[in-house]
Amino acid sequence: MSDGKTPFELMMSQAREMAKAFNPALESFSPKGFEKLWPTMPKEAMEMWFGKGISQNGLDAKTRLLLTIAGQTMQGAQAETPFRLTVRHAVEAGATKDEIAETIAQMSMFAGIPAMTRAMELAREVMEDETGDEE
């Protein structure tokens, strides 16, 4: 460790070299590109599997997804891909940009400003992509 790198940096460097050895194409791999392979579930399917199908008086898909966004924000929005997918599904379920932003902002009281800021950045990326697709 005389080169001044932390053990984590050394481990990540070694992992990159190993990935290149296994498959050179992995050098340019982007998780965001991988996300686009996952389809957005229609609201009706979300309702059937996660909402009204189980209990007619239960939470709807939009509310469940807003709660999921709140929980992911509380964890610091560390799992970027699942967070972005959840925002994408929330939009599909009828959540507005304001509702998503308000959900994330509310979590600043519990998770802190850094977690809220990170979650807001990720959500903004998704919502800008969603708007761009419609044009």
pLDDT digit string, tens, across residues 57-94: 778 889 989 999 999 999 887 888 889 999 999 999 99
Strand, coil or helix: 26? helix
**Which pair of structure tokens corresponds to residue 73?**
């924000």
Helix axes 43-50, 80-92, angle to 10 degrees: 110
Residue pLDDT, tens place only, 87-125: 999 999 999 999 999 999 999 888 889 999 999 999 999
pLDDT at 135: 38
pTM here is 0.65
Residue-wise pLDDT for 35-62, tens only, equals: 666 667 777 777 666 666 666 777 888 9
Amino acid at 66: L
Alpha-carbon 122 to chain mean position: 7
Q: Are 90 and 73 in contact (CB under 8 A)?
A: no
